[in-house]
Structure 1
Amino acid sequence: MATQTDLEPQYVALYRATAEPQIVMVPEMTFLMIDGTGDPETGESFQRAIPVLYGLSYTVRFALKRSLGVQHKVGALEGLWWAPDMDAFRVKNGGDWQWTMMIRQPPEVSADLVEAARAELAEKKDLRRLDDTRLESFTEGRAAQIMHLGPYEAEGPTIARLHDFIHEHGGRFDGRFQKHHEIYLGDPRRSAPERLRTILRQPFLEAATATSGDR
């Protein structure tokens, strides 16, 4: 009989943000990741990356069930966003955005299992960015997060509240060194924009270690 694995208890709060900012400790987790540059709305790289990430995640899911008898749900799509010049975000210059899109994997997923799943998926579909995906651990540490309700382009005021919260708690968010993290709990293909739910998360430096360029 297959065993069921889902979010471990210590991870549940990380994917259940509220409308009020809160501090969380984000431990090491493993993700399938793919990198890119450019506007997610119009960029060809982004449009090709998402089907690859989901396709490989589902293939890994079935492979894990076959090999170890472990059944799990494919996690939410997540994204890390940054830019060498953070003014690119303020003026919405999407062409300069850099990103890593990722989907969390259960601890039983190994590099060998991912490579076998990649080969299996390559035989079924012609996905040009399939070889660009990787399995990688990511530790975020202390962070602040908040739930944003509504369209992605309306995130500005919610992000401002998150920044204010970080400052009030003696921290700084430096966008040159830390990455803005979004967790997409809604599907824009099936949900009205005003009903989309997105967790916004930002790690922050302690004030004593922040630099003069902190944001």
Structure 2
Amino acid sequence: MDKLDFRKRDRALYAAKAGQWSRLNVPPILTLRIEGQGDPNGPTYARALAALYPLAYGIKFAAKARGADFAVPPLEALWWADDPAAFTTGDRAVWRWAACLRVPDDTAQTALDQARTATLSKRRTTADPEALAEVHLAPLDEGDCLQTLHIGPYTAEAPVLVDLHCVVMPGLGLTFNGPHHEIYLSDPRRVAPGRLKTLLRQPVRPL
């Protein structure tokens, strides 16, 4: 039985060079998604991830049982604010976010419902029932995007985004066409901050 691995099948979506913004067309995908607001180091974001992962693995194990296994891909997050400058100034209180995990395009609502029921039935689950209820299937269609690889701590992303917003996008005659998107290629529990690898992606459109 072949296992679907998004990173291998869709290599261009999970690769970029540090210090260089590349342009790519991102096709529509399906995600598990939960939204919130505030500092990603705070309890609200941790609560969201504690609900997101067991549901993704529940869907995976059910898919494997029917012969359609897939690898749970890296965590992704969409970030937005009324003023995009909030991400270059570090005003985390106004950051809004959606934590996401990609799932196969044919994932049905029934699969999510069954995973939710199974997670709630486990005696040792640490997931918040209310957070589990907030996780939903959401399509994501970004299209034309700019993407780069950031190596280092998340707190060091601001200069990269300033360059994107103030130099790269205006120079190409482009503007924002959706939330800032990050794909976390490294596990911060196992990788030192200076070696973290994060894909930074920005959907764009002509001015």
Instruction: Normalising by structure 2, report the TM-score.
Output: 0.90
Report the Cα offset of residue 86 of structure 1.
3.2
Report the Cα offset of residue 64 of structure 1.
0.7
Local SS of the residue matching 1:107 = coil
Cα 1:11–1:65 shift into 2, 3 Å: same
Q: 1:172 aligns with which of 170, 175, 186?
A: 175
Give the superposed CA RMSD.
1.7
Q: Where does residue 5 of structure 1 map in the other structure? A: 4
Q: Where does residue 89 of structure 1 map in the other structure? A: 87
Q: Where does residue 151 of structure 1 map in the other structure? A: 153
Deviations 1:126-171 (A, max 9, x none): 5221001001111001010000000000012222333323222221
Inter-partner Cα distance in structure 2 for 1:40 and 1:136: 21
Cα 1:45–1:15 shift into 2, 3 Å: same
Unaligned runs of 5+ in 2: none
Inter-partner Cα distance in structure 1 for 2:138 and 2:36: 16
Deviates more, 1:82-91 or 1:193-202: 82-91
Inter-partner Cα distance in structure 2 for 1:126 and 1:200: 30
Inter-partner Cα distance in structure 2 for 1:205 and 1:107: 25
Q: Where does residue 211 of structure 1 map in the other structure? A: none
Local SS of the residue matching 2:6 = coil
> Percent identity among equivalent residues?
38
Q: Where does residue 185 of structure 2 map in the other structure? A: 185
Is the 1:145–1:162 contact (alpha carbons within 8 Å) kept by the matching residues of 2?
no
Q: Please list every run of at least 4 consecutive aligned residues from structure 1 whose deviation after the TM superposition is greater than 4 angstroms.
A: none
How many residues in Structure 1 have an aligned counterpart in Structure 2?
201
Deviations 1:76-133 (A, max 9, x none): 1001011123343333221111100001111232111111111111111252210010
Inter-partner Cα distance in structure 1 for 2:179 and 2:73: 20
Inter-partner Cα distance in structure 1 for 2:178 and 2:160: 18
Inter-partner Cα distance in structure 2 for 1:89 and 1:16: 23
Q: 1:98 aligns with which of 72, 96, 99?
A: 96
Q: Does 1:49 align with 2:56?
A: no
Inter-partner Cα distance in structure 1 for 2:196 and 2:145: 22
Local SS of the residue matching 2:69 = strand
Cα 1:140–1:199 shift into 2, 3 Å: same
Q: Counterparts in 2 of 1:63-142, with a 5 A limit?
A: 63-66=62-65, 68-124=66-122, 125-128=125-128, 129-142=131-144
Instruction: Normalising by structure 1, report the TM-score.
Output: 0.87
Deviations 1:5-25 (A, max 9, x none): 122877320111112110010
Inter-partner Cα distance in structure 1 for 2:24 and 2:9: 11
Deviates more, 1:100-109 or 1:21-30: 100-109
Local SS of the residue matching 1:199 = strand
Report the Cα offset of residue 72 of structure 1.
1.0
